């Protein structure tokens, strides 16, 4: 692939003002001063969504490497960053006097020695951290960080930008907005029409999405109140596209307007004021703004209790029972109450069950006592990595719009799964069946299945993602970015005017007025920007990395299903023999790259208590159990897994498969092992004849035998 040359921008004085010119001498923008023009020219490339094609390479170049294989490259960049930063300090007003002289530095020696000792202690303590960079770590949703992410974070960290405003972060705020446009494009949103920004993580993004959904939902009621007070005729469409004067529409129908219609009402009112009342645009805006402060339906001013009391309606929010606990935080913080959050059962694949959701939505829309605030879909549940049928939720949304003349806000929590969208082409998101050859060594075949990823429901969910009203994504998960880096994405940028809070000490309106957070690290924006401009969010870039993790998870699934084949090979190599009195039981073929499984003794051993004890014991052998304040080193731990206790409503089906009590599993839940296969090095290791996933299963098999032989309760 040929490397495209980035256009260069220059400044020139033209017709009394300073202009930014591109490589063809076309005027890009005009400015009052040369400084403004130079700044604009410098930042111009940040503003678009076009990125240079990534040079053809394996993604092995994108990481330091589990054995620091790219250490020389990484150290070179780190040294360059430090030298550049220190040089910048030294050359800022170099004629200023030296503040810290040699005598003072000599007097600092005792404190410097103390710092050195404390630093050494810190570095030693950090060795107790989990080796998340290693392919041997198959536990939580954390892995190796990409090299550009670390370098971008480290470089901006030195400058300590606060991305609440460009007054405190003149460069990284623009980078954050550029990242927002890149993420919007990845998700299928139109970058010019959407609002996408960075936050601390998925929890805050989910809270913000529900906050915005609540704010948008009450705009039509305020608009109706305004039109009644000002005797203004305003014809608007409702959910089924019939049109009526807003003054005649019922409150519940207004509450259930589609988000795009609700967001457009303030502008619609201003235009009508200019046309029907002969107001100027500024006078109309002032009239609307003054009214909002007194509106009986202004949630921000009157409070939720006051507004709901006038309506005699209670909100409902529907989400999968596999949802992240941040939704419980959200309804608590927003004053909605946990009673209003209804959990929808999941099916056998741990995806939201659509028949139940459909019934709940229709019941809510027809109830005289309830209104539907939002439906939450999940692309990548925290425990199982499952993909909810977003496409079917959208079909339901369209159906009730025409049958009930009501709509609802759809938020998708894609904190885990958002970056999986890079697998798909951005224009035609269609994925054909993807296969890897069978995993073989000379004369040995470990699995009898082709390894692929082609679930139509999963593909369609990602295909329709761009129709959601808001989306959560976590760059610090599958984006391989350092913490903290979350994304809150809104399809319609007009929501900003509905939630804005402008403090008097911030004069720009790029980020701060429209987000929940105040201060936040510009380093996260720099990390995302450097990563996504060097590893583009396309199938040929980041998508290659994501797809490799999906196929590695599929490979682990089949190793677990057919582990006896792998272990028999191992035993024959070592001259060992052992009875096979157990099996590994994966819960389901993974939708993404999270594999949940357990050790099962067979239908003759139907004690749930024994099963949970055995699996918890296995977990302890694949983790470091630290007592409080006792930090054990991870060097001797060969592999790591995580765990969870499932308590979802679909467990009776699992109980039948395992031959255990349905009543017990519903009351106690079931202890399962959980492996997140997001490490980028598994395919590369196999090229070097190291099969970490197979070796993990072999070790798991050995440990399971050891544990089971020690359990006297086990039936033979």
Distance CA 303, CA 312 (A): 14
Phi, then psi, of 525 in degrees rounded to 5: -65, -40
Split the chain (716 residues) into runs of 10 and give each run's mean pLDDT: 42 68 63 62 55 64 95 97 95 93 93 96 90 94 96 97 91 96 96 97 97 96 97 96 96 97 96 90 93 94 93 96 94 94 96 98 97 98 96 98 97 98 75 58 60 85 96 98 97 94 71 91 97 94 93 92 64 52 90 95 80 94 73 78 95 91 92 97 89 91 87 56
- 309: which residues sit within 8 A by CB, 6+ positions away? none
Distance CA 498, CA 398 (A): 25
What value, to the nearest 5°, has the Cα angle with vertex 396 and ends 391 and 401?
A: 130
- 350: which residues sit within 8 A by CB, 6+ positions away? 322, 381, 383, 384, 386, 587, 588, 648, 650
Q: According to the model, what pLDDT value does residue 55 have?
A: 58
Q: According to the model, what pLDDT value does residue 2 have?
A: 34
Q: According to the model, what pLDDT value does residue 563 have?
A: 75
pLDDT digit string (tens) for 611-621? 999 999 999 99
Place of tokens 């995993």: 439
Q: Where are the domains of the chain?
A: 1-47, 219-297, 550-709
**What b/e string do you get for 225-262 counting C-beta neighbours within 10 Å, with b at 16 or more?**
bbbeebebebebebbeeeeeebeebebbbbbbbbbebb
Q: According to the model, what pLDDT value does residue 63 have?
A: 96
Task: Please say whether the dihedral angle defined by the alpha carbons of residues 271, 277, 282 and 288, taken in this order, is positive or negative.
Answer: negative
Would you say 429 and 188 are in contact if contact means Cβ atoms under 8 Å apart?
yes
Per DSSP, the residues of 358-411 read: HHHHHHHHH-SSEEEEEEEEEBS-TTT--B--HHHHHHHHHHHHHHHS---EEE
What value, to the nearest 5°, has the Cα angle with vertex 321 and ends 320 and 327?
A: 75
3-state secondary structure of 315: strand
Distance CA 460, CA 472 (A): 18
| Omega before 226 within 30 of 0, i.e. cis | no
pLDDT digit string (tens) for 291-326? 999 999 999 999 999 999 999 999 999 999 999 999
Q: According to the model, what pLDDT value does residue 128 have?
A: 84
Look up the pTM and report it.
0.91
Place of tokens 């409080």: 628
Place of tokens 């370098």: 151
- Kindly state the tokens that stand for 277: 């009342």
Would you say 490 and 476 are in contact if contact means Cβ atoms under 8 Å apart?
no
Would you say 586 and 576 are in contact if contact means Cβ atoms under 8 Å apart?
no
Q: According to the model, what pLDDT value does residue 175 have?
A: 96
Per DSSP, the residues of 665-693 read: HHHH-EEEEEEE---TTHHHHHHTT--HH
Place of tokens 């480290």: 154
Q: Tally DSSP H helices, then E strands, for the chain.
A: 26, 21
Q: According to the model, what pLDDT value does residue 12 have?
A: 65
Q: CA 518 → CA 241, 248, 274, distances in Å?
A: 39, 41, 36
Distance CA 417, CA 462 (A): 9
- Kindly state the tokens that stand for 541: 């870039």
Would you say 31 and 20 are in contact if contact means Cβ atoms under 8 Å apart?
yes
> CB burial class (10 A; 0-12, 13-18, 19+) of residue 30?
middle
Q: According to the model, what pLDDT value does residue 5 have?
A: 36
Distance CA 308, CA 320 (A): 25
- 58: which residues sit within 8 A by CB, 6+ positions away? 684
Distance CA 189, CA 187 (A): 6
**What b/e string do you get for 681-701 counting C-beta neighbours within 10 Å, with b at 16 or more?**
bbbbbbeeeebbbbbbbbbbb
- Kindly state the tokens that stand for 154: 């480290």
Phi, then psi, of 562 in degrees rounded to 5: -120, 40
Measured in Å, how far apart are the chain's first and last C-alpha atoms?
Answer: 62
- Kindly state the tokens that stand for 507: 């004069």
- Kindly state the tokens that stand for 49: 């969504």
Q: Hey, how many other C-beta atoms are within 10 angstroms of the C-beta on 407? A: 25
Q: According to the model, what pLDDT value does residue 575 have?
A: 52
Distance CA 605, CA 585 (A): 14
Distance CA 655, CA 645 (A): 14
Distance CA 130, CA 637 (A): 10
Task: Return the DSSP state at 639.
Answer: -
Phi, then psi, of 372 in degrees rounded to 5: -95, 110
Q: Nearest Cα to 611, choosing from 637, 589, 585?
A: 585
- Kindly state the tokens that stand for 700: 């798991």
């Amino acid at each position: 692939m040929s490397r495209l040359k980035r256009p260069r921008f220059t400044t020139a004085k033209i017709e009394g003002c300073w202009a930014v010119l591109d490589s063809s001498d076309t005027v890009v923008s005009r400015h009052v001063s040369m400084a403004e023009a130079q700044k604009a020219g410098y930042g111009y490339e940040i503003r678009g969504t076009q990125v240079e094609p990534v040079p053809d390479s394996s993604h092995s170049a994108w990481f330091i490497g589990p054995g620091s294989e790219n250490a020389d490259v990484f150290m070179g960049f780190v040294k360059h960053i430090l030298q550049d930063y220190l040089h910048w300090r030294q050359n800022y007003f170099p004629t200023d006097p030296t503040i810290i002289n040699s005598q003072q530095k000599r007097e600092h020696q005792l404190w410097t020695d103390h710092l050195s000792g404390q630093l050494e202690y810190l570095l030693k303590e950090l060795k107790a951290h989990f080796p998340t960079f290693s392919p041997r770590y198959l536990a939580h949703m954390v892995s190796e960080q990409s090299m550009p992410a670390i370098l971008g974070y480290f470089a901006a960290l030195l400058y300590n930008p606060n991305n609440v405003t460009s007054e405190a972060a003149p460069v990284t705020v623009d980078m954050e907005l550029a990242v927002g446009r890149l993420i919007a494009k990845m998700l299928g949103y139109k970058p010019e029409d959407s609002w996408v920004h960075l936050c601390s993580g998925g929890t805050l993004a989910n809270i913000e999405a529900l906050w915005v959904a609540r704010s948008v939902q009450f705009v039509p009621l305020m608009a109706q109140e305004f039109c009644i007070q000002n005797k203004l005729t305003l014809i608007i469409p409702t959910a089924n596209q019939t049109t009526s004067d807003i003054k005649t529409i019922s409150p519940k129908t207004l509450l259930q307007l589609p988000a795009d219609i609700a967001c457009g009402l303030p502008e619609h009112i201003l235009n009508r004021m200019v046309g029907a009342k002969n107001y100027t645009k500024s006078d109309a805006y002032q009239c609307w703004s003054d009214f909002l402060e007194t509106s009986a339906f202004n949630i921000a001013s009157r409070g939720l209790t006051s507004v709901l009391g006038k309506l005699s309606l209670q909100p409902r929010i529907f989400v999968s029972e596999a949802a992240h606990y941040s939704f419980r935080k959200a309804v608590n913080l927003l004053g909605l109450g946990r009673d209003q959050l209804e959990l929808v059962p999941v099916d056998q694949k741990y995806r939201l069950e659509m028949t139940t959701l459909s019934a709940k939505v229709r019941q809510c829309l027809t109830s005289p006592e309830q209104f539907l605030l939002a439906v939450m879909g999940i692309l990548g549940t925290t425990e199982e990595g499952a993909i909810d049928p977003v496409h079917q939720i959208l079909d339901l949304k369209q159906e009730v719009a025409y049958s009930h003349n009501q709509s609802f806000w759809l938020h998708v929590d894609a904190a885990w799964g958002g970056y999986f969208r890079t697998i798909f082409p951005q224009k035609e998101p269609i994925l054909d069946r993807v296969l890897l050859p069978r995993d073989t060594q000379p004369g040995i075949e470990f699995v009898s299945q082709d390894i692929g990823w082609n679930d139509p429901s999963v593909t369609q969910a990602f295909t329709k993602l761009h129709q959601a009203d808001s989306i959560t994504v976590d760059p610090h998960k599958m984006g391989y970015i350092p913490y903290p880096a979350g994304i809150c994405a809104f399809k319609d940028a007009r929501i900003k005017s509905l939630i804005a809070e402008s403090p008097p000490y911030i004069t720009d309106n790029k980020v701060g007025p429209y987000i929940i957070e105040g201060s936040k690290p510009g380093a996260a924006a720099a990390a995302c920007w450097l990563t996504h401009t060097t590893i583009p969010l396309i199938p040929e870039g980041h998508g290659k990395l994501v797809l490799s993790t999906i196929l590695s998870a599929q490979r682990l699934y089949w190793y677990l299903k057919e582990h006896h084949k792998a272990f028999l090979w191992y035993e024959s190599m070592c001259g060992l023999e052992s009875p096979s009195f157990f099996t590994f039981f994966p819960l389901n073929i993974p939708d993404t790259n999270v594999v949940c499984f357990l050790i099962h003794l067979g239908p003759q051993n139907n004690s749930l208590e024994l099963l949970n004890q055995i699996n918890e014991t296995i977990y302890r052998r694949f983790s470091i159990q630290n007592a409080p304040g006792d930090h054990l080193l991870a060097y001797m731990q060969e592999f790591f897994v995580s765990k969870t206790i499932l308590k979802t409503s679909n467990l009776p089906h699992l109980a039948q498969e395992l031959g255990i009590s349905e009543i017990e599993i519903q009351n106690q839940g079931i202890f399962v092992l959980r492996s997140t296969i997001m490490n980028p090095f598994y395919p590369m290791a196999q090229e070097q004849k190291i099969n970490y996933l197979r070796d993990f299963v072999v070790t798991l098999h050995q440990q399971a035998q050891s544990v089971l032989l020690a359990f006297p309760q086990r039936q033979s």
